[in-house]
Structure formats: structure tokens, C-alpha cells
Chain A
Amino acid sequence: MTELTLVQAVNRGLQVAMRNDPDVLVLGEDVGVNGGVFRATEGLLKEFGEDRVLDTPLSETGIIGTAVGMALYGLKPVAEIQFLDFIYPAFDQIVSELAKFRYRSGGQYPCHVVIRTPYGGGIKGGLYHSQSTEAYFCHTAGLKVVIPSTPADAKGLLLTAIHDEDPVMFLEPKRIYRSVTGEVPDGDVRIPFGKARLVREGSDVSLFAYGAMIPLVSEAAEKLASEGISAEVVDLRTLVPLDEAAVLASVEKTGRAVIVHEAARFCGVGAEIAALIAEKALYSLKSPVVRVTGYDTPFPYALENLYLPNADRIVHAVRGAVKAG
């Protein structure tokens, strides 16, 4: 075990994968000499050389299209998109190509690319360095969508992503890249997809969240405990595949559900979780499902603290849910 920040854990995950498998390589803007704008790829160029750490021209469609071609040929490319906000020039390659290669070829052409990209607000990044648009990718058949919230998960889920057989969107909560530290197992220790993490057990309400919201939700659960409300915190970890069993089991136990994400509410992941609960656990509910999310606006710069969920908003929502029944 080693104590690491989340971004260091990403770095170790890449290093371990590249040491163990010569087919793994990384490509993206500023990932080589500069070690990535967040230093996630620090030291990789020195250890693995230009053949496996490619500083690319400034073109997201170029990065992903190239990665798709490499994957078709049999390599395991890990592409970095500098910010999720800049991924859209590559949207066609991701949605029309990467996600559909296996399907459209009848299984002849699996296409396994990992796309790492920092997402989310809380860093004073304004409109174009803050968005949380995971729902676009969850809505596209053929993509797995992973969002870690701890250093150990970042490394373990990344290693699983790199050795998976399907395309993986690996969204990194940049707001907690350095603010969260934790013990991380050394070596190639993988964490399976589709298994939510029970962060905290509770009996009155279930809080479902992922990524950068987890520390806030935990803080809220702590406050609620002092008020005598026992909140269970479930970190979804992988949005596709979703651990539906964990969601349902928790709701069946507590009878209340509050879903927290920083993405906009309309058609967000919270809507899917709420629908799942409505379809399969409605009669366990004591009060309506509540969502604490970003607003249905573009991401505001100066007022981001008001846009983003925080512990107080979560506590307020939970109190309301408990009061409602």
C-alpha cells in the first residue's frame, strides 16, 4: 500500500499497465514532455519513450480516431482528452465509431480504447473547464462509463478499464485530484466494473452519488448523523454497467433515496436511477425520490458555488425526504 492522491493513483495505474503489457500506450495533448496538464502522465515518456507516449497535435478527433485505429489493430491505447469540455470534436469518433465497431461488424472488430478525461466543476474553470456531461456517454450503447472517487478506485478501476474488452470512458473528478488522498494497493490490483461501493451504512435514507460528489455526500451524512438521521452512502463507481442490485437493495432497506450529481438535472444520470427505483422498488419508498444536482443552465463561472451541490444542500434535501414520510 502507498499513500497517494487521486491523480497520482491514475499515474500509477498507467505505469503498472504499461510495465506489464507492451500493447498499452498513451496519447493526447501535452501528455509527454509536460506529463499532462494535471500531471497524470508524469514520468511516462521518460520510462516508456515516444513510441508509447505520444504527444499529439491539437485535435480531439485526431486523438480518438488514431486511438480507434490502434485498437482495431490490437493495441490498447489510453487516450487523454485534456478536459471533458473539449471532447466534442471527437464525439463522432466516440459515438459513431468507437461505440459501434463491435456491433456494426457483427463482432468482427472489437475496439477497445480507454478515454481518460478530467470532468466537473469546483475549480473556477467556468463554462469550458467544468462540465459534467457523463449522461451523453451513458446514453450511447457500447460505451462503459466509469467515475472513480478515491485514489484506490482510480487506480483499480483504471487497470480494469485498460484490460477490458470494450471502450471505456474514464472520467476523472479533477476537483479532488489532489484534495483526496488514500492508501492504494501496489501492483496490478483491479476493481471490477458494475460493483457499487458502500461508503457508509445507514438505515433512514440512501444517498447515491459518484466522483467528486462523494466527499460532499459523506460530509452531509456526517452532519445528518449528528441530527439523528442515519444516511447510507453508495458510490456508484461505474455508471455503465450500473450496479442496479446495490441501488435497489439500499432503497429497500432505507425506504428513501436522494441522488446527487453535479451534472444538470434534466435527463441526467439521476433520472435513470429515479426511474429504476420507480420501476422496481416503488413500494419500498416512504417518500418521493429527491435529486440534488446542478441546474439546467450552462455552467456559471462566478457563481459556481451556487450551481454545484454542496453538503448543506444535500442535508437540506435529506431532511425534506425524511420529513415527507
Chain B
Amino acid sequence: MSRGESVHAVPPAGAVGFPALGREELLDAYRVMVLSRATDERCLSLQRQGRIGFYVPASGQEAAQIGCARALSKEDWIFPAYRELGVALARGVPLRAILDQLVGNSADVSKGRQMPNHFGFRDHRFVVASSPIGTQITQAVGAALAARRRGDPIVTIAFFGDGATSSNDFHAGLNFAGVYRAPTLFFCQNNHWAISLPREKQTRSITLAEKAQAYGFPGVVVDGTDIDAVHSAVAEARRRALHGEGPTLIEAQVYRFGPHSTSDDPRRYRSDAELAHWKESDPIKRVKERLINEGVLDETRDKMMWEAARAEVSKAVEEAEATPPVGAGTFLDDVFAAPTPRLAEERAEFEALLRDGVVKP
């Protein structure tokens, strides 16, 4: 048996019993995809202007992110990496809340504690991201076991990239999930570049999905630029997990159109031709064409949708920037449930420095 044989690509549109997204659903997904792309465009520019410190774009991965999120229940727990803007938007996180985090203002529910894009929203069951690669994978398995113990009919899902498949926690997490048949989905957005390292140099495996075979559960490869294919693969994996059939690894093949983050220049490591090739299957273009073919969208309406998205982004940026900064002493909060005597003393010391003008907010 060849190495890739047990891995099947999910055929698009309903082949595993899950119908393609209906017109209205698709139009709504498209609206979120456009909003995600418009947010990326604006935030890259804000970063260049020094108005936000850093940014991690998701452009090119919208069909994977939004198609996946739409196949989940709002009760499912999301364990994101730091590139999951589209997932957050599809989950219903208000754009303003995301901008508050990017700016790090006093309205940020995470209180300005982390770099941009490392957001989390408990109300949306969207766990707060971190920078170390892959650590959320084992955590998603633990939460799934906890949900099962509580009898909650939900799944957990870990989002990560191709680079994370080399991490310790990828191995540990998939292994634990296989052993315990955890109701967990492993959603790998293979965007082909882990900063500068190409997919072929990340692993000798022919696909990333086939790694699941070694852990005793299915891995599927899906065209991550095809929103229906992603949606149906995730829906099927979710059905399996809820029926006690265990985890699934989904490899959504995508391409990141922009840099890894605002701190790198992709032209140093990849070709314009490769980018141009992938842009032919720009997920937004693909959905737009389908919507036009089905008569639910035309160029005029499309233009209006983009204008509406850009206006929404502008409004969120304005509001986030007009919101007062994080209070000076708040960095001393939330280390523990209640401050230790040592932390209380450090707070008093800090407040004295503020009062005496030695440090300035």
C-alpha cells in the first residue's frame, strides 16, 4: 500500500451526505469572507502606519476558515492558532472586539495582554490563542474528554498550520485523541509555508493528513479553497466525533497570500509565480463566481458588499482607536485569582512610582 492510499480527498458538494451550502448560506459565508479579507487589507496598512504593532494576515485561507466554522455548532469549543480571523468572524465575534484586541485598548476583553491576533472570546467558546506552536492541540483533546465526561454533546476543534505538524503537541495530541477516541477535530490549514520553510521540507510524508493513520483514525485532504468541500469534510468529522467514532485530522490545502506576519517578506523565500498560481483559485473569487452563476450576486451587489465591509472595518478601527488605552496598573491583575502578598506589594510600589511621577502612564 502506498503511503497516501488510505487518505482520500473529500469530493466537493455533498458526496459524503452533507449538501453544499445553500444560496443564502453561501451568500452569508461570502459576506464574512469579504469582511475577513477587508480586515486584513486594512490592518496590514494600519501596521505599516504604526497604528497597530503587528499583524498576522489570513488572506487566502477564508474558505477553509469560514467553511469550517460554519460546519460547527456554536456550542463547540474552538482552540485557535493566531491566524484564525475568519473563524472568529464566522463564529460571530464582533469585528469591533477583534479591533479592540489588535489595538490593545481598555475595551479588549484580554486587557491588552497579548500581541495582535492572539485573541480569545470566552462568550464565543473561542479559546485565547498563544504564540508557541501546537500547544492548543493537546488542550483541545483535554477539553473534549472533559465535555464527554460531562455528557455535553459537543466537539472541540484545534486549528493549526503545516508547521505545527512537526511539533511535540501535534504528536502527543493526536496520539492521546486516538487512544481515548476523543471527540476532537484536528483542522490543519496547510498553507504550504511555515514562515520560510516549504511544506516539502517540513515532512517527508506525502500528505499531512496521512499522519492520522499512524494514530489510528482517519485523515482527509480537502481543497481548502473550496468552501463546500471544507464544510462537508468538517461536518462529517463532527458527525463521527459525536457518534463516538473518534477524531479526524483534516488537511485543508490552502495558500497564504500575504506574509507569515508583518515581520517578514515572503519574496525572500517564495516565487511570485507560485503566488500567482494560487491566486487563480482565490477562495473569494471562487465563491463569487458561484454566486454570480447562481444569480444571487452581480458585480454591482458585489461592489456594495465590499464597500459595506470596508465601512464596517473603518468604523471598528475608528471606535477602537478612540477607546481609552489600557489602565496603567492593569498589567498587575489576573496573575492569580487573588494577588499574593508579593504582588500586592509590587502594586503598591508601582503606584508609588506613578504617584511620584517616576513612571508615566
Which residues on A are within 8 Å of B, measured CB to CB?
25, 51, 54, 56-57, 59, 61-62, 64-75, 77, 89, 92-93, 96-97, 100-110, 141-142, 144, 164-166, 194, 240-242, 244-245
- Indicate which residue in B132, B175, B179 contacts A96 across the interface (CB closer than 8 Å): B132
CA distance A70 to B148 in the complex (A): 10
**How far apart are A105's CB and chain B's nearest CB, in angstroms?**
4
Whether B111 pairs with A102 at a CB distance below 8 angstroms is no
Whether A65 pairs with B128 at a CB distance below 8 angstroms is no
**How far apart are A269's CB and chain B's nearest CB, in angstroms?**
13
**How far apart are A256's CB and chain B's nearest CB, in angstroms?**
24
**How far apart are A56's CB and chain B's nearest CB, in angstroms?**
7
Interface: B141 (CB within 8 A): yes
Whether B340 pairs with A241 at a CB distance below 8 angstroms is yes
Q: Please name the residue on chain A nearest to B339 by beta carbon.
A: A241
Whether A107 pairs with B334 at a CB distance below 8 angstroms is yes
Q: Please name the residue on chain B nearest to A56 by beta carbon.
A: B176
Whether B109 pairs with A69 at a CB distance below 8 angstroms is no
CA distance A66 to B176 in the complex (A): 8
Whether B141 pairs with A69 at a CB distance below 8 angstroms is yes
- What residues of chain B lie closer than 8 Å to A142, measured between beta carbons? 335-336
- What residues of chain A lie closer than 8 Å to B322, measured between beta carbons? none
Q: Please name the residue on chain A nearest to B175 by beta carbon.
A: A57
- 12 A–B contacts from the bound complex (CB under 8 Å): A57-B172, A65-B142, A69-B144, A73-B150, A74-B150, A77-B142, A89-B168, A108-B128, A109-B122, A141-B335, A142-B335, A164-B337
- Indicate which residue in A97, A103, A104 contacts B139 across the interface (CB closer than 8 Å): A97
CA distance A105 to B120 in the complex (A): 7
Binary contact track B130-166/A, C-beta < 8 Å → 1, others 0:
1110010111111111110110000010000000000
- What residues of chain A lie closer than 8 Å to B135, measured between beta carbons? 65, 92-93, 96-97
CA distance A245 to B144 in the complex (A): 43
Report B327-350 residues with CB < 8 Å from chain A CB. 333-337, 340-342
Whether A107 pairs with B336 at a CB distance below 8 angstroms is no
Report B55-113 residues with CB < 8 Å from chain A CB. 77, 79, 108-111, 113
CA distance A194 to B343 in the complex (A): 13
- What residues of chain A lie closer than 8 Å to B79, measured between beta carbons? 69
- Indicate which residue in B111, B127, B341 contacts A72 across the interface (CB closer than 8 Å): B127
Whether A104 pairs with B168 at a CB distance below 8 angstroms is no
Interface: B213 (CB within 8 A): no
Whether A104 pairs with B337 at a CB distance below 8 angstroms is no
Q: Please name the residue on chain A nearest to B154 by beta carbon.
A: A73
Interface: B312 (CB within 8 A): no
- What residues of chain A lie closer than 8 Å to B142, measured between beta carbons? 65-73, 77
- What residues of chain B lie closer than 8 Å to A106, measured between beta carbons? 108-111, 113, 334
CA distance A103 to B331 in the complex (A): 9
Q: Contacts A65-B142, A65-B172, A103-B334 given: A240-B128 contact, CB under 8 Å?
A: no
Interface: B238 (CB within 8 A): no
Given contacts A56-B176, A61-B169, A70-B143, 19 further A-B contacts (CB under 8 A): A54-B180, A62-B138, A65-B135, A65-B137, A67-B142, A69-B145, A72-B127, A102-B336, A104-B130, A106-B111, A106-B334, A107-B334, A109-B127, A144-B336, A164-B337, A166-B336, A194-B340, A241-B342, A244-B342
Whether A73 pairs with B342 at a CB distance below 8 angstroms is no
Whether A62 pairs with B173 at a CB distance below 8 angstroms is yes
- What residues of chain B lie closer than 8 Å to A244, measured between beta carbons? 341-342
- What residues of chain A lie closer than 8 Å to B113, measured between beta carbons? 103-106
Whether B130 pairs with A100 at a CB distance below 8 angstroms is yes
- What residues of chain B lie closer than 8 Å to A51, measured between beta carbons? 149
Whether A69 pairs with B110 at a CB distance below 8 angstroms is no
Q: Contacts A69-B141, A244-B341 given: A104-B128 contact, CB under 8 Å?
A: yes
Q: Contacts A96-B132, A105-B110, A106-B110 given: A70-B169 contact, CB under 8 Å?
A: no
Q: Contacts A61-B172, A104-B130 given: A75-B335 contact, CB under 8 Å?
A: no
**How far apart are B59's CB and chain A's nearest CB, in angstroms?**
26
Q: Which 3 A-B pairs have the closest CB atoms?
A: A69-B142, A65-B138, A62-B172
**How far apart are B105's CB and chain A's nearest CB, in angstroms?**
12
- What residues of chain B lie closer than 8 Å to A70, measured between beta carbons? 142-143, 145-146
- What residues of chain B lie closer than 8 Å to A103, measured between beta carbons? 113, 334-335
CA distance A109 to B130 in the complex (A): 13
CA distance A142 to B337 in the complex (A): 9
CA distance A62 to B128 in the complex (A): 19
**How far apart are A295's CB and chain B's nearest CB, in angstroms?**
28
Interface: B231 (CB within 8 A): no
**How far apart are A48's CB and chain B's nearest CB, in angstroms?**
12
Whether B341 pairs with A69 at a CB distance below 8 angstroms is no
**How far apart are A112's CB and chain B's nearest CB, in angstroms?**
9
Whether B140 pairs with A108 at a CB distance below 8 angstroms is no
Q: Please name the residue on chain B nearest to A64 by beta carbon.
A: B138
Whether B169 pairs with A109 at a CB distance below 8 angstroms is no
- Indicate which residue in B122, B127, B173, B180 contacts A65 across the interface (CB closer than 8 Å): B173
CA distance A93 to B137 in the complex (A): 11
**How far apart are B163's CB and chain A's nearest CB, in angstroms?**
15
Q: Please name the residue on chain B nearest to A99 by beta carbon.
A: B335
- What residues of chain A lie closer than 8 Å to B110, measured between beta carbons? 104-106, 108
Q: Contacts A65-B169, A69-B139 given: A110-B337 contact, CB under 8 Å?
A: yes
